[in-house]
């Protein structure tokens, strides 16, 4: 199915109900017209990181269901799957074969051995310091082969996630096979998770290494195009990198929007947010929340350091049950540049602020993605957080069917559903249309979206008062 210009739900297979079968029921019973696409977070067998350490892309974890159930979703919704192009589980058949057969393994070149990557006598501490990393130690892990020999292999993220050498023929074949298999099961869009780490090059920081990163993306895009699949490269970093990706005609994420919107609502100021909305490309997916934390680094230079600090501190002050410790090593936080909270709780569990934030997202350039907790205006799950001691689990509540039926009756959720149905059906939001952003006063924000057919939708918002109206061709709809 082709990508629709309709909101996309982001969810795990077992978060809205216990499995894919129950997810389908939720979509049918409660979300008709609310979303047109589903980003199904990793549903493959995995050994860690809530699915992001996949061991086999060819099968669905039977705990969640079957390929048939996913294909049935694809008949009604455009689907996005995750491909962790940077790494794979150490329990995968490829890495296990390498561990068993060492030099005779057909998969030995899939993995990066540190002693082969660096010249003799390296890496030095300077080499390790140069590497762009999300943890405070060298991204290497010892592997003991069955023949008793030892080596260090590269692993950027968790201990379960072994990095792939994307320059080798065997890995390129693995990539081609994976893309073909995903296409077979109804995927319209592939999110390239952690792709910016995939190129390792001596004497660089091993992050978004140019021009090699573009060569990799082009290879993957050319292969995906055979199956009419589009790519969404995933990267949390300075917004200028997103702009580079957009210039190469890929879909991008607007990961700057969450912090900019919080800053606007905390401060009552429209200027920073307005400037960004006027700059943003249409070929993007917007977010306020995801399965990870709220990104801080993504808004750097769109907000000054002082404004970033203000917004971060306000988040802890205004946010409901948001504490600094939840984004620290004490709660296994991998990424120091993210704050763990639901977006609803980041706004103090306040309905008016939350609906205004979502209205801004709906009028922003691009297609809105709505994380499942955000779709239900979910509060921080302190019980899950404390049970697991995983910071990001504060925003990963498991909803039962009974809970969902109850939550969808809340006025704030009903209003959000109405807002998304309007966004999904109004011709004003044509991606080939135009956007105008105005700031009549320091606290006011006016966004005008005009479709190719001349249909016009207008958001008039007061960020200080947390009020807004929406009209279409002069007729008020909210």
* Catalytic positions: 193, 234
DSSP 426: -
473 φ, ψ to 5°? 50, 45
How far CA 74 is from CA of 69, 71, 188, 220, in Å, comes to: 9, 5, 9, 22
Sequence-ordered list of residues with C-beta below 8 angstroms from that of 362, at least 6 positions apart, any chain: 7, 368, 419, 420, 422, 423, 429, 459
Beta carbons of 241 and 295 less than 8 angstroms apart: no
Beta carbons of 261 and 273 less than 8 angstroms apart: yes
How far CA 307 is from CA of 299, 313, 385, in Å, comes to: 10, 10, 28
142 φ, ψ to 5°? -75, 135
Beta carbons of 216 and 200 less than 8 angstroms apart: no
Strand partners for 313:
none
Please name the residue ranges forming H helices in 257-377. Answer: 257-267, 271-279, 305-318, 343-346, 351-363, 372-375
DSSP 380: P
Cα torsion 371, 375, 17, 327: sign: positive
With left for phi above 0 and alpha for psi between -120 and 50, is residue 145 left, alpha or beta? beta
Task: Give the residue among 262, 354, 286, 291 at the shortest CA–CA distance from 11.
Answer: 291
Residue 31 CA to residue 34 CA, distance in Å, equals 5
Strand partners for 46:
54
- Cα 387 from chain centre: 24
Sequence-ordered list of residues with C-beta below 8 angstroms from that of 159, at least 6 positions apart, any chain: 48, 90, 141
């Amino acid at each position: 199915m082709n990508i629709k210009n309709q909101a996309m739900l982001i969810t795990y297979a077992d978060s809205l109900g216990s499995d894919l079968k129950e997810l389908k029921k939720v979509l049918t019973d409660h979300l008709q017209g609310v979303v047109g696409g589903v980003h199904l977070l990793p549903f493959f067998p995995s050994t860690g990181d809530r699915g992001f350490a996949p061991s086999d892309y060819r099968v669905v974890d039977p705990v969640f269901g079957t390929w048939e159930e996913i294909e049935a979703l694809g008949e009604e919704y455009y689907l996005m799957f995750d491909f962790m192009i940077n790494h794979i589980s150490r329990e995968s058949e490829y890495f296990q074969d390498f561990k068993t057969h060492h030099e005779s393994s057909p998969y030995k070149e899939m993995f990066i051995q540190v002693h082969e990557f660096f010249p003799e006598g390296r890496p030095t501490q300077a080499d390790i310091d140069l590497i762009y990393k999300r943890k405070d130690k060298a991204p290497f892990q010892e592997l003991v082969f069955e023949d008793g020999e030892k080596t260090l292999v590269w692993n950027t993220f968790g201990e379960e996630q072994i990095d792939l050498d994307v320059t080798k023929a065997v890995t390129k074949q693995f990539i081609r096979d994976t893309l073909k298999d995903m296409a077979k099961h109804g995927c319209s869009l592939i999110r390239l998770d952690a792709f910016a780490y995939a190129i390792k090059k001596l004497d660089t920081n091993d992050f978004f290494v140019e021009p090699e990163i573009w060569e990799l993306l082009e290879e993957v895009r050319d292969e995906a195009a055979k199956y009419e699949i589009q790519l969404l490269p995933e990267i949390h970093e300075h917004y200028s990198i997103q702009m580079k990706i957009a210039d190469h005609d890929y879909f991008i994420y607007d990961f700057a929007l969450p912090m900019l919107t919080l800053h606007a609502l905390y401060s009552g100021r429209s200027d920073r947010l307005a400037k960004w909305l006027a700059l943003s490309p249409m070929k993007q997916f917007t977010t306020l929340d995801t399965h990870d934390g709220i990104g801080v680094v993504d808004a750097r230079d769109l907000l000054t350091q002082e404004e970033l600090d203000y917004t971060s501190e306000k988040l802890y002050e205004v946010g409901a049950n948001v504490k600094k410790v939840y984004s620290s090593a004490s709660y296994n936080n991998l990424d120091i540049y993210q704050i763990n909270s639901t977006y609803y709780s980041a706004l103090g569990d306040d309905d008016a602020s939350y609906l205004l934030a979502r209205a801004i997202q709906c009028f922003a350039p691009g297609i809105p993605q709505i994380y499942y907790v955000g779709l239900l205006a979910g509060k921080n799950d302190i019980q899950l957080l404390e049970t697991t001691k995983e910071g990001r689990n504060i925003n990963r509540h498991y909803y039962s069917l009974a809970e969902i039926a109850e939550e969808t009756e809340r006025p704030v959720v009903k209003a959000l559903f109405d807002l998304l149905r309007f966004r999904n059906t109004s011709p004003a939001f044509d991606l080939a249309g135009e956007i105008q952003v105005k700031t009549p006063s320091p606290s006011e924000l006016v966004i005008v979206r005009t479709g190719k057919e001349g249909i016009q939708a207008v958001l008039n918002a007061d960020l200080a008062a947390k009020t807004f109206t929406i009209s279409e061709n002069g007729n008020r709809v909210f």
